């Protein structure tokens, strides 16, 4: 395969101006994100394993679900209520000759987090890889006073408190050799003031993961973080104004955002045995944005 300049590998801004309401629908984006359907090739690195991915209906979660399936894993995906997007992910997994369990609902609820784990184990008998990917990012706000209590609470409950619940309920079903991958962000290191609640939770995720890794390694379970830079997902079009979406990713050293497909290999690496000595790390996939 011919080498490609990474700056030119995918579509660059300007994008069509567009906006969506929460939670954002991938099928309505223009251009539609590339989740690796035509490009990702598996090598059996997750054969026989079971992966639970939150936010697996679209964006990074969908790309990870497809990659894991093509590597041999059966997949459970939790998502909020984006049923059409989730069904497309399900089809991609099943086309890869693997099983897919859909788990709609709100992970702000501790009881729903427990239900997700129970249903995954009832279907597949175990969990080998837990990917905490789901996140809420509200509309960009110019004034700090507009970060009201209910919005901040929703952001924290979705982005970080749910991780405490999901890990707690999953641990009895994760054996030695298991892997937990939490999705952070460059926002943990270079926070944008207009989405400060989101950025703050991403900083918390880094601390949570590094501390959790120290405890769970005693059980033979690794914990790591993938920290993306700008990625073309529904999260963007439902939280930023159209003029921002139009130029999204332009200031990155790559002069474009990543496509979800470009994140998937990082998750495969952290999930499989090739990374067995990697623990408590933050793997940046930022296009050159600095994690400091």
Q: What is the mean pLDDT of residues 260-280?
A: 98
pLDDT band at 1 (very low <50, low <70, confident <90, very high): low
pLDDT, tens digit (0-9, with 9 covering 90-100), for 186-201: 999 999 999 999 999 9
Nearby residues of 40 by Cβ (< 8 Å), 6 or more positions away:
63, 66, 67, 70, 261, 264
Q: Which of 187, 105, 172 is nearest to 140 (CA)?
A: 187
- In the predicted model, is pLDDT for residue 125 greater than 90? yes
Residues in the chain: 292
Q: How far apart are CA 222 and CA 181, in angstroms?
A: 8
Q: How far apart are CA 41 and CA 55, in angstroms?
A: 22
Instruction: Look up residue 7 and give its two tokens.
Output: 């700056």
Residue 133's contacts (CB-CB under 8 Å, 6 or more residues apart) are: 53, 54, 55, 56, 60, 61, 64, 183
Confidence bin at 2 (pLDDT 50/70/90): confident
| Euclidean distance between CA atoms 107 and 167, whole angstroms | 12
Contacts for 148-153: CB closer than 8 Å, 24+ residues apart:
151/197, 152/197
Domains of the chain in start order, with CATH, are 41-285 (3.40.50.720)
Output the furthest CA–CA distance in the chain (Å, rounded). Answer: 52
What are the φ and ψ backbone dihedral angles of 282, each rounded to 5 degrees?
-110, 115
Q: Write the CA distances from 271 to 78, 149, 154, 181, integer angstroms.
A: 18, 36, 29, 8
Q: In the predicted model, what is the mean pLDDT of residues 114-118?
A: 98
d(CA 256, CA 12): 5
149-186: pLDDT as tens digits: 999 999 999 999 999 999 999 999 999 999 999 999 99
Give catalytic residues, as residue numbers: 198
100-104/129-132 β-pairing: unpaired
Is the overall model pTM greater than 0.95, yes or no? yes
Summarised one tens digit per residue, pLDDT across range 126-138 is 999 999 999 999 9
For 30-47, what is the mean pLDDT?
97
| Three-class DSSP category at 78 | strand
Query: Alpha helix locations (H) across 172-224?
Result: 196-216
pLDDT tens digits for range 80-89? 999 999 999 9
Q: Does residue 282 contact residue 227 with C-beta atoms inside 8 Å?
A: yes
Cβ burial, residue 148 (10 Å; 0-12/13-18/19+): exposed
For 227, the 3-state DSSP assignment is strand
Q: Phi and psi of 75, rounded to 5°?
A: -125, 135
Residues above pLDDT 90, as percent of the chain: 99
Identify the burial level of 172 via C-beta atoms within 10 angstroms of its C-beta, where 0-12 means exposed, 13-18 middle and 19 or more buried.
exposed
């Amino acid at each position: 395969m011919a080498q490609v300049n990474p700056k030119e590998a995918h579509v660059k801004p300007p994008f069509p101006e567009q906006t969506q309401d929460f939670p954002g629908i991938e099928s309505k984006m223009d251009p539609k994100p590339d989740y690796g359907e035509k490009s990702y090739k598996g090598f059996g690195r997750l054969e026989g394993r079971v992966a639970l991915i939150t936010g697996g209906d679209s964006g990074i979660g969908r790309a990870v679900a497809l990659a894991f399936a093509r590597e041999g894993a059966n997949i459970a995906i939790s998502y909020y209520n984006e049923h059409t997007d989730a069904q497309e992910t399900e089809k991609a997994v099943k086309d890869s000759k693997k099983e897919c369990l859909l788990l709609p609902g709100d992970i702000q609820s501790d009881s729903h987090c427990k239900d997700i784990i129970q249903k995954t184990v009832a279907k597949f008998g175990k969990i080998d890889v837990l990917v905490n990917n789901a996140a809420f990012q509200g509309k960009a706000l110019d004034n700090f006073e507009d970060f009201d209590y209910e919005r901040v609470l929703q952001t924290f409950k979705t982005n970080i408190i749910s991780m405490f619940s999901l890990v707690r309920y999953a641990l009895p079903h994760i054996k030695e050799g298991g892997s937990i991958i939490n999705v952070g962000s460059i926002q943990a290191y270079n926070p944008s003031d207009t989405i400060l609640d989101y950025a703050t939770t991403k900083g918390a995720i880094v601390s949570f993961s590094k501390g959790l890794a120290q405890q769970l390694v005693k059980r033979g379970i690794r914990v790591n973080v993938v920290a993306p830079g700008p990625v073309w997902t529904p999260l963007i079009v439902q939280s930023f104004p159209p003029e921002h979406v139009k130029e999204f990713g332009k200031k990155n050293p790559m002069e474009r955002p990543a496509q979800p497909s470009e994140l998937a290999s990082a998750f495969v690496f952290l999930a499989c045995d090739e990374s067995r000595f990697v623990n408590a790390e933050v793997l940046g996939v930022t296009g050159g944005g600095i994690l400091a």
